[in-house]
A and B are shown apart, each in its own frame.
Chain A
Amino acid sequence: MKLYLLSVYQPDGNPPSPEVLEPIMRKVHALREELKAAGAWVFSGGLHEASTATVVRVKGNDVITTDGPYIEGKEHIGGFTVIKAPDLDAALEWARKSAVAITLPIEVRPLMDQH
């Protein structure tokens, strides 16, 4: 079994209206239950918007703290799930289901094996 990170990329700005969001959240919740029932769920979380992010850098002995996300852009990671899957095809199938539920693109990345 391998671990995969499924990230949701969402546009910055105002979240959709409750009428739009509510059915999406219901589907996301149902998918999480499906992942858990299949033994594929490891961890998941939704993130506050990118403007709440803080970046910390070290330069020599100084710590530089800046407001905002590391990468400027119009879209940022809005949430993620770590899943267990036998191979990429299985992970891509969970990503397909996630993309259908969330209606946003999902990026799939393998985690390194832990030694």
Chain B
Amino acid sequence: MPHPPVGEADVEKVFREEYGRAVAVLVRYFGDIDLAEDAVQDAFTAAVQRWPSSGIPPSPVGWIITTARNRAIDRLRRESSRDERHAQAALLLSNEPSHEEDAVPDDRLRLMFTCCHPALAPAAQVALTLRLLGGLTTAEIARAFLAPESTMAQRLVRAKGKIRDAGIPYRVPGARELPGRLRVVLAVIYLIFNEGYTASAGERLVREDLCAEAIRLGRLAMMLVPDDPEATGLLALMLLIESRRAARTTTDGGLVLLAQQDRGLWNRRLIEEGQALVRHCLRRNQPGPYQIQAAINAVHSDAEHAAATDWRQILQLYDQLMAIAPGPVAALNRAVAVGEVEGAEPALAIVEGLALDRYYLWHAIRADLLRRVGRYQDAALAYDAALAWTDNAAERAFLQRGRDAVRPH
């Protein structure tokens, strides 16, 4: 039968979209992460061989899951060393009808909670989530986090070993634990996004993939826990930040600050989606840190040009954020809003009181405020300090321009 030509890119697309689903279903079948991963890999290898001649099946993920399950059963039969439990599972499964896709959302949610279990270290939670739900290779994760591949591989092996040996469960937590556990899941997703967005160094393409992956995971989290307004807030926040990507850098990779960005380059579709989610959160009126940060970004997105920004509303939102989730970084961002509403002097007073001298943005914001109050020599020193704290080429170029502007004539 004739069918449109199928290339590796088509299989790659299915892989990106469906790898996590397939692994989640296979983990439920076999209770073994390594076996699930191997089987799903096998199935995609088979797809690369088969689909070019057979065409893409009507349900690609169904085909992958069925193939992976059969491959896993084959593996279990071959490897007699695997324990009795697996053999029994395999026997049971050979007769089970396959309605793989029905229970899929729950399977991915289960896997998400397993990957983000608080008994695992944060770095391991991030790596596992990207590996099992995102389908990133160990090498890709290592590159994205500037870690040697061997270190990342070891981290994944150890984490999977702990899940298996300590009996970290594969299920959605009970009502009592759920809120706390969900916070961890959202924090992991935001960590992935931030690593992609505000990278201290590294390859650009991989970084953009991380943001796209975080947004995909954020959509999944919102779909799986629609009752949690913070899951919605996190997705809105990521979409609104992501909407400015094209405007954030010049063609040669230079950094463009919010105030100087060409707002025509902002992605209207992402802004509209993000703002609709923010409005949805406002109607529910159960504010949380992600929702408030999303609202702040929504105010920026509303302004047609920088001078039209409603800084009073932004300052109010930062006051609200500081009331429920105080922290030095939130205080620093609030100081920027104070600088716009009340002037550079009071903003500088706030900035000077924050113990953030290991954070390049603290130096950068302080440098800008010092320049605005006319203390050029101090500003030059602050720019130098900021330059010493970042390796990102775009950010360095931006800081260097500020440094040049206050150079003694």
Contact = CB atoms under 8 A, between A and B. Distances in A.
Given A89-B173, A89-B177, A2 B119 contact: no
Interface stretch (B147-155, B164-172, B219-227, B247-255): B164-172
A87 interface: yes
Contacts of B173: 89
Contact of B165 (A86, A89, A91, A110): A110
A1 to B, nearest CB: 9
Interface string B311-353: 0000000000000000000000000000000000000000000
Nearest to A3: B167
A92 interface: yes
Interface string B153-190: 00000000000011111000100010000000000000
Interface in A87-115: 87-89, 91-92, 108-110, 112
A88 B181 CA distance: 14
A12 to B, nearest CB: 28
Contacts of B177: 89
Nearest to B174: A89
Contacts of B166: 88, 108-110
B165 to A, nearest CB: 5
A91 B168 CA distance: 10
Contacts, number: 25
Nearest to A111: B165
Contact of B119 (A86, A92, A112): A92
Give the interface SS of chain B, mostly helix, strand, loop or mixed: loop
Give the interface SS of chain A, mostly helix, strand, loop or mixed: mixed
B302 to A, nearest CB: 44
Nearest to A113: B83
Contacts of A89: 168-169, 173, 177
A87 B177 CA distance: 15
By CB atoms of chain B within 10 A, which of A2, A85, A92, A109 has the most?
Answer: A92
Nearest to B119: A88
A2 to B, nearest CB: 5
A87 B119 contact: no
Given A89-B173, A89-B177, A110 B119 contact: no
Contacts of B117: 88
Contacts of A85: 167
B132 to A, nearest CB: 18
Interface in A38-72: none
By CB atoms of chain B within 10 A, which of A89, A91, A108, A110 has the most?
Answer: A89
A85 to B, nearest CB: 8
Contacts of A92: 119
A86 B169 CA distance: 9
A87 B165 CA distance: 10
Contacts of B119: 88, 92
A86 B168 CA distance: 10
A89 B177 CA distance: 10
A110 B173 CA distance: 20
By CB atoms of chain A within 10 A, which of B119, B166, B169 has the most?
Answer: B166
By CB atoms of chain B within 10 A, which of A2, A86, A110, A112 has the most?
Answer: A110
Contacts of A86: 167, 169
Contacts of A2: 167
A88 B162 CA distance: 10
A111 to B, nearest CB: 10
Nearest to A115: B83
A112 B173 CA distance: 25
Nearest to B85: A113
A93 B165 CA distance: 18
Contacts of A91: 167
Nearest to B176: A93
Contacts of A87: 167-169
12 contacts: A85-B167, A86-B167, A86-B169, A88-B119, A88-B166, A88-B168, A88-B169, A89-B168, A89-B173, A89-B177, A109-B166, A110-B166
Interface of A: 2, 85-89, 91-92, 108-110, 112
5 smallest CB-CB distances across A and B, nearest first, come from A87-B169, A87-B167, A110-B166, A88-B167, A2-B167
Given A88-B169, A89-B177, A108-B166, 17 more contacts: A2-B167, A85-B167, A86-B167, A86-B169, A87-B168, A87-B169, A88-B119, A88-B166, A88-B167, A88-B168, A89-B169, A89-B173, A92-B119, A109-B166, A110-B165, A110-B166, A110-B167
